[in-house]
Structure 1
Amino acid sequence: MDKSNGYEKVAKTFSEVRGQIVDGIGASSVSMWAQTLPKGTVILDLGCGTGIPITKVLIDEGMSVYGVDASPTLAQAFRKNFPHCPIACEQVEDSLFFNRSFDAIIAWGLLFLLPKDNQAMVIRKMAEVLRIGGKLLFTAPSSISEWTDILTGQQSRSLGTKKYKEILSAVGLSLIEEFEDDGENHYYHAVKVR
């Protein structure tokens, strides 16, 4: 069973299309977010892929990054790109998140790949390892929608802003802002308040 939501099968193509573009879509938005965090912030990058561009941006901004990705091929590329960053090759639903807490968590292009119930469960898991005052940044469309991912052919789904707000609030996170980047990715920026 492929626990990578189809990404192991297309890992080579994904690496060529997205995993080598240092200033790819999302890089500038993640950089702006990272600039609101203190240098040395310990960040968990869920669905990190090769680490390019997201992990690279975070490291360039002075952050310490841990990665989780279910694709063995993409996790191996991450290790090669960032040998000093810990990486766990496991499905986020099953991950122990290194048995530690984090100052911030990013899940860029990940949550909407998961089944609806799993999205809520992963948000809860992220909240559990996020320190009070810690920040969470994730992407998912603002409207309730389902579509077939172009690269993997797998079903993707967004729960929509209202549902994401409900889930965040239920696990002690408060939505600070929503915004979109130049690639029309919708971001949810939240802080752990309890």
Structure 2
Amino acid sequence: MSGACLGYEGYAALSRLVVDRVGQAEAFDDIGSRYEYAYPHKKGQLSAGQWLSHTLPAGSRVLDVGCGTGFPTARQLVDAGLEVVGVDLSATMVARARENVPEAEFHQLDLADLRDGRLGHFDAVAAFFSLLMLPRTEIPHALRMLHGHLRPGGLLALALVEADVDDVPIPFLGNSIRVSGYLWDDLRHVVSDAGFEIVGEESHVYAPSSTELPPEIQLYLHLRRA
């Protein structure tokens, strides 16, 4: 991916995330498998993964951004005959993903590390709740970078939480993480400006099993590279 795709300012902004997100990685290293216990049911995520697996031909290459433990997305997509490459900032999550989905390829990488195109191009990207870990100023840059990693007509399954917040610290399973979110209409504008066509939408009210975490509205967008 050339510098012209994202622009110097976009690359510079994403580069800063490597430093800014160290605390985020440490939090998820500590959380480990407790994340699966807090979020055991993933109807919306499974539905979005099904959209990818039903739309893409067998053997298509999919990038799973923020792959976590590999469940459910990497496992679901591999079982559907797709080639999955997963990335996550947390070493613990990557180790678990390799154990859970040995057929896939996993790398411990920050989102900013992808800017050099080291992993090649993809037919689709899955980004389920990974971009919410970024400040709002960086999310459009990240979307444009993912756009540049997609082949023409490539797909993006994107999920965020509906919330009018920007880089706000919240308690999360005994740790503190920073999150951002959008209201529906604002999110639609952001993805359209990044060069994506919206081909489907879903929203789900989700109540985590942990009483520490409040219910949330999860937003899912099915996108195509315009």
Indicate whether the TM-score tops 0.5: yes
Q: Is the 8 A contact 1:112 1:140 kept in 2?
A: yes
Compare CA radii of gyration and give the structure with the larger one.
2
Identity of aligned residues (%): 26
SS in 1 for 2:153: strand
Q: Secondary structure at the match of 1:187?
A: strand
Amino acid at match of 2:194: V
Over 3 Å counting, the alpha-carbon distance change for 1:150 and 1:16 in structure 2 is closer
Letter in 1 for 2:172: I
Q: 2:157 aligns with which of 118, 123, 137?
A: 137
Aligned residue pairs total: 193
- Unpaired runs of 5+ residues, structure 2, are 1-18, 207-216
**Residue 62 of structure 2 contacts residue 84 of structure 2 at CA under 8 Å; is this kept in 1?**
yes
User: Please, what TM-score do these two structures have when normalized by structure 1?
Assistant: 0.84
Distance verdict in 2 for CA 1:63–1:23, change over 3 Å: farther
Distance 1:135 1:16, change over 3 A: same
Note if contact 1:69-1:90 (Cα within 8 Å) is conserved in structure 2: yes
Classify the secondary structure of the residue corresponding to 2:86.
strand
1:155 aligns with 2:173: no
Q: Name which of structure 1's ranges 32-41 and 144-153 shifts more when overlaid on structure 2.
A: 144-153
Structure 2 CA distance for partners of 1:10 and 1:143, relative to 1, 3 Å: closer
1:18 matched residue in structure 2: 36
Deviations 1:18-69 (A, max 9, x none): 18x8864545313431223222221100000111111111111221100110
Unaligned runs of 5+ in 1: none
Structural mapping, 1:1-194, within 5 Å: 3=21, 6-18=24-36, 24-33=42-51, 34-95=53-114, 96=116, 98-145=118-165, 148-151=170-173, 152-181=175-204, 183=206, 184-193=217-226
Determine which structure has the larger helix proportion and give its number: 2
Shift of 1:180: 2.0
Q: CA RMSD in A?
A: 2.6
> Of the two structures, which has the highest relative contact order with CA contacts closer than 8 Å and spacing of 6 or more?
2
**Which one is further off, 33-42 or 184-193?**
33-42
TM-score, length of structure 2 as denominator length: 0.74
Structure-2 separation of matches of 1:149 and 1:25: 24
> 1:94 Cα shift?
2.7
